[in-house]
Chains A and B, each alone.
Chain A
Amino acid sequence: MNRSSPPKQQTTTRNTTMWLLAALLLAFAPHTLRLPLAITTLCLLFGLWRFTIERRASLALPVPLLRMLLLAVSLTVVYFHYGTLLGREAGIALLATMLALKLLEMRSIRDYVVVIMLGYFLAVTLVLYNQTLPMAVYMIAVAFLLTATLIDLNLPRTRRQRFANMRLTAKLFIQAAPIMLILFFLFPRIPGPLWSLPEDAHSGTTGISDEMSMGTISNLSHSNEVAFRVAFDGDLIGNELSYWRGPVLWHTDGKQWTGGQASDRNSAVSYRPVGKPISYTVTLEPHNQKWLYALDLPAMAPAQTMINSNFQLVAQSKIKELKRYKMASYSEYITGPLSADETRRALQLPVDRNQRAVALGRQWQQQLREPEAIVAHALSHFNQQPFHYTMTPPLLGRHPVDEFLFSTQQGFCEHYAASFTVLMRAAGIPTRIVTGYQGGDFNPVGNYLIVRQRDAHAWAEVWLANRGWVRVDPTAAVAPQRVELGAETAFSELFNRRSTLQFENDFLSRNWLKLRYGWDSLNNGWNQWVIGYDSLKQSRLLTQFGIDSLKQMAAVMVAAIISLLMLLLALSTYRNRQQRDAISSAYHRFCEKLATIGIARQPHEGPVDFAKRVIEQRPDLEPQIAQINDLYIALKYRPRHTQQQIRHLQQQIRLLKL
């Protein structure tokens, strides 16, 4: 029998604090890669401080005055770094520091709960930068630990069972999973954003920048954010033509590609169009950069913009609000001659970097001589060598092009574009990289094309004597689906393509490849069904099930959740129904029998006391009562007993004549 503990203020223990600190550290860890060093140091310092206080009973929490001082310091540091306390980046820094500071005044249960809630918030900021499957798992792990802490706050202190909170959390998560799925798929999604996003909303990985290194564009491939939408005046153009031109990159240090000094003054559009222009209207999402996107090549510049020498549309100021502009483009063209300066820039290569690639390029130049032949050879090289197109390319080191061309051979579009450009420049062909978007999803409902961040692309342009700049997309040589069908379907198609597997002969690498393709297709499914699940997809999916209004959606959702909860309750009730064991039920009958003659067992009365009282009142029953009582106690409190003994007890009770 348990005793109640004396009523006292429920206090948290060191254990709970440790759980909390571990959970917060986990939530904070990925942010350290992005946050300024000073802020990271400050947060870790506060956390360590609390940790030390927990370890040593002699230390106390800092006095209020000191905490105020620390608050002032933290705010200053954040403001100093970002110039503001608002916006996404500064907001996260502020959240992290305030959370860390709160640890130094965390005392009551209320404080703990507030910290846990803020911790959940910190967990969700993790996925603002990275929406990959591993990050999802990581975020759920953080939420798991925080929930375990919350449970630890509410568990009785007397529990000796280790990790009791973890077990219960696991149970809650498993039971919550189906409800979460219902909410995820059925909760009516409103197309965002609800209001204009803060200035830095599109910084970081959420758009194409004017710099590129291997990995920057593949980072975007997980983002489902809309870059711009396009309505065509005439027919939709084919995917193979929809190259949306962005920054053009000339200069490389072997690893990074930048625009170099583009001569904006030479803005005369010096190309000869072939054929009819394509006209369309672009609605550009704010991307906090100066350039606008247009199809290769723009025929005109909207108001307050111009076309620079790279055939790139550039506005006078950064695009911070939704921008709508009418455009026309020529898909076929012949550009003019190259100046001496441009030729130098288009052939620039850093010394002592990627030397194997440079050597290969020179070898091709000597063997083939003709630029067209060299380009064709390079493309067939990408096509015939075991190159793979993947969203999750391995990290590359000091000589990224060499490593990619000769060892890893797994890359996203920027790997192919950069390597191709290095090879061509080595072979003496003026080449530059063009970044932008390729393809897009056609929305049949609104009759427009949606271009998303995951459609970000990089390709190359080579300068050929009689044609001028010619677009060459080396990615198309490796994964034609990327260009023909767009990024979304490319990976699932690629997985089915057997031909790429044929050159893999030995068993191990074949399976390794299968694993890699499996991972890619998993990522693709993830992108389509989790990351890419938005209001449009939702209405498309639910219409198939006959749910076509928000009202219906909400009704189905609520009904499904309520029935799941009821099911959970029913299952719990069913599973916990107590089946009295034979011994207890026999004794129960005995008590009931005695109750009929007015001797009822009191709830606080043990069997021995009860037997004593019965004998006191009915001395005539003494032998039977004593025997039943002894038998019962022997059976109940001794680990070993036989069926025969139980039957004996049952018989004795049956035979009891009152």
Chain B
Amino acid sequence: MKYLPPSIEHLASRLFTFERRSGNDRSDSIVLTRRRIYILPTYFGVLFSLLLMLLLIGSTNYNNSLGFVLTFLLASIGLVSIIHTYRNLLHLKIQAGKAEPAFCGAMATFSLQLENPEKLTRHNLRVRFKGDPAVANDINSNDSCEIKLSLPTTQRGWRTIERITIDTVYPLGLFRAWSHFTLPKACLVFPRPISGSPPPIGKASGSGNNRRQEGNNDFIGFRNYHPGDSPRHINWKAAAHSDELVTKLFGDNESNELWLAWDALPGLETETRLSQLCHWVIDAEQRGAQYGLKMPHITIPMGQGDGHQRRCLETLALFEKR
């Protein structure tokens, strides 16, 4: 679908700055009130009005009353469709949902909850944040719809959503109603994992010992499941027969304690260092090792599991060099 050039939209936004910028913008949800919705014809709307002009001139020229009837009927339908398009957005409630973290370079996902508090069913709503829109087809009365926006990431840290656009051309495609809004949600972007130098091994806190531990992947036995154990290590075959979950143990736990340290990577750029550490964290977690993270400003003690990994990655993502 084609719209008017962005410059016109921009002009319209500037002309009608009813939007109250303070207040609402900090809250987790937004209701599309009258003042938030703009409406303008689409390219097709312009084409349609040209058609109407032609019909009007033709009808006048031939003095044809039925020509006028059709011209005015089409014009009225166009006018009425404005109300329908506008109404399709009006009073819609938008709530910020979960923001899944992502590794830098991958797509981050935000979810939005579109809530329809009225009897009117909403159709063909499109939500976009740079790039392809996500489409919400029908939202029935009192129902809601989850929209997932994916956006590319280029930098680690908090990725905020500046301006999301919701729009609709329903029902005729002649007019487009839209609204811009921001939500105070941000998505955490972890550093991009790079496997540069090999990971540190054993109990050594530094990088001096480069000998690879042979027994890492050797199965050594079972123990009862603790929350935080990687699902990869759960003995699913056994789980099928009993209610208890059992975790498989690999390698030598004692020699599998790793300290992943900032200082172990001297001479590299900050981002490269973080990327390297990030890779180590993922790697250690995959191998089922016990690992800790030593950063200049904080030390995360030994641990294992998704929560632990998450904490380490968050630390890396939000690291700021003083």
Which A positions have Cβ atoms within 8 angstroms of B?
A: 1-7, 10, 109-110, 113-114, 117, 120-121, 123-124, 127-128, 131, 135-136, 139-140, 143, 147, 150-151, 153-159, 168, 172-173, 175-177, 179-180, 183-184, 187, 189-195, 197, 201, 224-226, 530-534, 561, 565, 568-569, 572-573, 575-578, 580, 584, 602-604
**In the bound complex, do residue B65 and residue A195 qualify as a contact, i.e. CB atoms below 8 Å apart?**
no
- Which residues from chain A contact B91 at a C-beta distance below 8 Å? 573
**In the bound complex, do residue A156 and residue B173 qualify as a contact, i.e. CB atoms below 8 Å apart?**
no
**In the bound complex, do residue B66 and residue A180 qualify as a contact, i.e. CB atoms below 8 Å apart?**
no
**In the bound complex, do residue A572 and residue B80 qualify as a contact, i.e. CB atoms below 8 Å apart?**
no
- Which residues from chain A contact B173 at a C-beta distance below 8 Å? 109, 113, 150, 153-154
Distance in angstroms between the alpha carbons of A151 and B88 in the assembled complex: 14
B80 to chain A, nearest CB (A): 5
Residue B76 contacts which of A151, A154, A176 (CB distance < 8 angstroms)? A176
Distance in angstroms between the alpha carbons of A173 and B60 in the assembled complex: 23
Residue A4 contacts which of B44, B75, B118, B147 (CB distance < 8 angstroms)? B147
**In the bound complex, do residue B60 and residue A604 qualify as a contact, i.e. CB atoms below 8 Å apart?**
no
B204 within 8 A of A: no
**In the bound complex, do residue B79 and residue A156 qualify as a contact, i.e. CB atoms below 8 Å apart?**
no
Which B positions have Cβ atoms within 8 angstroms of A?
A: 1-2, 29, 44, 47-48, 51, 54-55, 57-77, 79-84, 86-87, 90-91, 95-98, 111, 113, 115, 117-120, 123-124, 127, 132-148, 169-173
**In the bound complex, do residue A578 and residue B142 qualify as a contact, i.e. CB atoms below 8 Å apart?**
yes
A554 to chain B, nearest CB (A): 14
Closest A residue to B127 using CB positions: A4
**In the bound complex, do residue B66 and residue A187 qualify as a contact, i.e. CB atoms below 8 Å apart?**
no
Closest A residue to B116 using CB positions: A578
Residue A158 contacts which of B82, B83, B132, B137 (CB distance < 8 angstroms)? B137
**In the bound complex, do residue A110 and residue B64 qualify as a contact, i.e. CB atoms below 8 Å apart?**
no
Distance in angstroms between the alpha carbons of A191 and B60 in the assembled complex: 7
A48 to chain B, nearest CB (A): 27
Known: A172-B80, A172-B84, A176-B76. A154 touches B172 (CB 8 A): yes
Distance in angstroms between the alpha carbons of A533 and B148 in the assembled complex: 56
**In the bound complex, do residue A572 and residue B87 qualify as a contact, i.e. CB atoms below 8 Å apart?**
yes
Distance in angstroms between the alpha carbons of A159 and B58 in the assembled complex: 38
B92 to chain A, nearest CB (A): 12
- Which residues from chain B contact A604 at a C-beta distance below 8 Å? 97-98, 111, 113, 146
Known: A7-B132, A154-B124. A565 touches B63 (CB 8 A): no
Distance in angstroms between the alpha carbons of A139 and B124 in the assembled complex: 30
A556 to chain B, nearest CB (A): 15
Known: A139-B70, A154-B173, A155-B171. 18 other contacts (CB 8 A): A2-B138, A2-B139, A127-B66, A168-B171, A173-B73, A176-B73, A176-B80, A179-B72, A180-B76, A192-B60, A530-B66, A531-B66, A561-B79, A565-B82, A568-B80, A576-B119, A577-B119, A578-B119
Residue A565 contacts which of B80, B113, B123, B137 (CB distance < 8 angstroms)? B80
**In the bound complex, do residue A120 and residue B74 qualify as a contact, i.e. CB atoms below 8 Å apart?**
yes
**In the bound complex, do residue B79 and residue A151 qualify as a contact, i.e. CB atoms below 8 Å apart?**
no
- Which residues from chain B contact A147 at a C-beta distance below 8 Å? 77, 172
**In the bound complex, do residue A4 and residue B51 qualify as a contact, i.e. CB atoms below 8 Å apart?**
no
Closest A residue to B144 using CB positions: A1
- Which residues from chain B contact A183 at a C-beta distance below 8 Å? 72, 75-76
- Which residues from chain A contact B141 at a C-beta distance below 8 Å? 578
**In the bound complex, do residue A192 and residue B136 qualify as a contact, i.e. CB atoms below 8 Å apart?**
no
- Which residues from chain A contact B119 at a C-beta distance below 8 Å? 575-578
Distance in angstroms between the alpha carbons of A575 and B120 in the assembled complex: 9
**In the bound complex, do residue B146 and residue A1 qualify as a contact, i.e. CB atoms below 8 Å apart?**
yes
Known: A192-B61, A194-B57, A578-B119. A180 touches B72 (CB 8 A): yes
- Which residues from chain A contact B97 at a C-beta distance below 8 Å? 602-604
- Which residues from chain A contact B80 at a C-beta distance below 8 Å? 172, 175-176, 179, 565, 568
Which 10 A-B residue pairs are closest in the complex by CB-CB distance? A176-B76, A156-B137, A127-B66, A179-B76, A183-B72, A7-B132, A603-B95, A2-B145, A576-B120, A603-B113
Closest A residue to B81 using CB positions: A172
A138 to chain B, nearest CB (A): 10
**In the bound complex, do residue A569 and residue B86 qualify as a contact, i.e. CB atoms below 8 Å apart?**
yes
Could you write out 16 A-B pairs with CB less than 8 Å apart? A2-B146, A7-B132, A123-B70, A124-B59, A124-B67, A128-B64, A155-B124, A172-B81, A179-B72, A179-B79, A179-B80, A184-B68, A184-B72, A190-B60, A577-B119, A603-B95
Distance in angstroms between the alpha carbons of A150 and B142 in the assembled complex: 28
- Which residues from chain A contact B79 at a C-beta distance below 8 Å? 176, 179, 561, 565
Distance in angstroms between the alpha carbons of A533 and B84 in the assembled complex: 31
Residue A143 contacts which of B51, B74, B82, B84 (CB distance < 8 angstroms)? B74
Closest A residue to B147 using CB positions: A4
Closest A residue to B28 using CB positions: A603
- Which residues from chain A contact B148 at a C-beta distance below 8 Å? 4
Distance in angstroms between the alpha carbons of A227 and B23 in the assembled complex: 69
Known: A172-B84, A180-B73. A156 touches B147 (CB 8 A): no
Residue B115 contacts which of A7, A151, A603 (CB distance < 8 angstroms)? A603
Distance in angstroms between the alpha carbons of A192 and B59 in the assembled complex: 9
Known: A195-B61, A565-B79. A2 touches B171 (CB 8 A): no
- Which residues from chain B contact A534 at a C-beta distance below 8 Å? 63, 65
Known: A139-B66, A190-B60, A578-B118. A156 touches B82 (CB 8 A): no
Closest A residue to B47 using CB positions: A117
B158 to chain A, nearest CB (A): 20
A160 to chain B, nearest CB (A): 10
**In the bound complex, do residue A131 and residue B134 qualify as a contact, i.e. CB atoms below 8 Å apart?**
no
Q: Which of B90, B111, B138 has the most CB of A within 10 A?
A: B138
**In the bound complex, do residue A193 and residue B63 qualify as a contact, i.e. CB atoms below 8 Å apart?**
yes
**In the bound complex, do residue B171 and residue A151 qualify as a contact, i.e. CB atoms below 8 Å apart?**
yes
Distance in angstroms between the alpha carbons of A532 and B172 in the assembled complex: 32
B43 to chain A, nearest CB (A): 8
Closest A residue to B58 using CB positions: A124
Residue A131 contacts which of B65, B84, B146 (CB distance < 8 angstroms)? B65
**In the bound complex, do residue B76 and residue A177 qualify as a contact, i.e. CB atoms below 8 Å apart?**
yes
B31 to chain A, nearest CB (A): 13
